[in-house]
Amino acid sequence: MRETVLGIGTAALILGASQAAHAGMFNPETFTLENGMKVVVIPNRRAPVVSHWVWYNVGSADSPLGQSGIAHFLEHLMFKGTDTIPPGEFSRRIARNGGNDNAFTSNDFTAYFQNIARDRLEMVMEMEADRMTNLRLRDEDVLPERDVVLEERSQRVDNDPGARLGEALDNAQFMHHPYRLPIIGWRHEMAQYDREKALAFYRDHYAPNNAVLIVAGDVDAAELRPLAERIYGSIPPRDLPPRTRVQEPPQEAARRVTLSDPRVRQPSMSRSYLAPSYSAGDTAQAYPLQVLAEVLGGGGTSRLYRELVVNQQLAVGVGAFYRPTALDLSSFRVYATPRPGVDLEAVEAAVDAEIRKVLAEGVTEDEVARARKRMSAASVYARDSLGTAARTLGTALTTGRTVEDVEAWPDRIRAVTAEQVNAAAKAVLVAGHSVTGLLLPSAPSEGASAQPEGEAPQTPPIGDRDQS
């Protein structure tokens, strides 16, 4: 019931196979196939199951102009059949074999996974390799799926004022770079998707030399390598288009976006600052910024919570959020929801005062030490789950990082000093690089066609379709 801050300990997590109780990371094994496909194996013998993933180095930010969201649409169409597997049969076959599967799309990557008994690993590898090259699409499958993603957009975005403001915020934060586009796409462009556009995107980007294979669970590299070489290694590499994205110009004007909707009963504010990531901008700040987010908004003893929620009693919820994993620039965000009866202006002023205080006086060594300790502990908890290991490594390898980077995360967090945090705060918390988003109620009026909904999604979605 406390505001949880998502993404700091979670997005940045390292995790690993929970086999050895030594305090290090999980020591994944890696190799590269002759066609350029990277392979990562994370042995975890806890149960006779494997989590098998293929990650493609392509995401929503690689969509052609006018085709926003096409990467996500293709992700849906990847379940629509190949020369040998009829439409819809992919997931049914996984299920008949006692497995779960799903897929998801982000700015920089698209990932497909199956969780299944270890003796079915070869089967899922064959199926995944098959749809890497043999996708067959018919209009009778593509067109209903276009309606599906439009319904998905309604469910996630259009029914939800908070999510609609979020789109406006991203769009203002990135003035030029394609991160300004929604991952799911703009509705008017989604309505124009067709078979040819999807296939063109597929042919451009789906190739073994643009993919990473990750297997976590009851298997090791010695067992996996021959399978990987035979199944994926036999697929010829393709020439890939250069991954050229337009880059963000210098930002100097603070922006504000405001959404008023009769269905908003609970106003809220969010402030986003353009920030470096692990891979772009002043990348040395990526670790200090994670610690800064923890000190500012990482739970019930963070600065924002103690000050705005407990001491001044202005807010019911506050937080800070920074995601360091991106191929290009990222953002550092703080948000606050006022107590019933408190003006949003007062809350925003209090947020600003806390930010000024950090810039003027800095965070203390003690605060940083506490944050570092909490964050390292989170990495222990993260080692408990199969999926988290694969997800963390996949995200890293598709956003410009290495396995070594992931392995070194706890050490690098433990090395962060207050001085570094303060330097990063000064570099990033700059008004001219910011967007302030305000979600406001409005009196319903005749003919106001608010497209409404109530509640921001709590976390990145978990595609748990498994009902047993």
Nearest to 80 by CA among 167, 222, 202: 202
Q: Using CB under 8 A, which of the segments 16-24, 33-41, 410-418, 424-432 binds another protein? A: 16-24
CA distance to 337, 345, 353, 354, per residue, from 312 (Å): 13, 14, 12, 12
Work out which of 151, 194, 345, 411 binds another protein, going by CB under 8 A.
151
**125 in Cβ contact with 228 (< 8 Å):** yes
Q: Which three-class secondary structure state does DSSP give residue 52?
A: strand
Q: Using CB under 8 A, which of the segments 141-149, 189-197, 350-358, 407-415 binds another protein? A: 141-149
Which residues in the 100-129 window bind another protein by CB under 8 A?
100-106, 115-117
* 19 in contact with another protein (CB under 8 A): yes
Work out which of 83, 242, 361, 458 binds another protein, going by CB under 8 A.
458
Q: Tell me, yes or no, if 196 is annotated catalytic.
A: no
Distance CA 251, CA 431 (A): 10
The two beta strands, 255-261 and 110-117, are unpaired
CB of 61 to another protein, least distance (A): 12
* 464 in contact with another protein (CB under 8 A): yes
Burial 29-46 (b: 16+ CB within 10 A, else e): bbeebebebbbbbbbbee
Distance CA 12, CA 5 (A): 12
Distance CA 238, CA 204 (A): 9
CB atoms within 10 A of CB 455: 11
* 290 in contact with another protein (CB under 8 A): no
CB of 106 to another protein, least distance (A): 5
* 43 in contact with another protein (CB under 8 A): no
* 354 in contact with another protein (CB under 8 A): no
Which is closer to another protein, CB of 33 or CB of 320? 320
The two beta strands, 29-32 and 211-217, are unpaired
Q: What is the DSSP letter of 278?
A: S
Which residues in the 356-385 window bind another protein by CB under 8 A?
370, 373-374, 377-378, 380-381, 383-385
Chain centre distance of CA 168? 18
From residue 383 to residue 422, the character string flagging contacts with another protein as x (rule: CB under 8 A) and all else as - is xxxxx-----------------------------------
CB of 67 to another protein, least distance (A): 15
CB of 32 to another protein, least distance (A): 26
Nearest to 77 by CA among 129, 125, 124, 147: 147
Which is closer to another protein, CB of 79 or CB of 232? 79
From residue 223 to residue 242, the character string flagging contacts with another protein as x (rule: CB under 8 A) and all else as - is --------------------
* 98 in contact with another protein (CB under 8 A): yes
Q: Which residues contact 260 (CB under 8 A, 6 or more apart)?
A: 440, 441, 442
Which residues in the 183-222 window bind another protein by CB under 8 A?
183-184
Q: Using CB under 8 A, which of the segments 4-12, 247-255, 343-351, 421-429 binds another protein? A: 4-12
Give the DSSP per-residue string, 19-51: ---SSS----EEEE-TTS-EEEEEE-TTSSEEE
Q: Which of 75, 167, 189, 354 is catalytic?
A: 75
Which is closer to another protein, CB of 183 or CB of 428? 183
Which is closer to another protein, CB of 302 or CB of 422? 302
Size of the site for another protein (CB under 8 A): 119
Work out which of 62, 128, 248, 453 binds another protein, going by CB under 8 A.
453
Distance CA 102, CA 108 (A): 18
Residues annotated as catalytic are 75
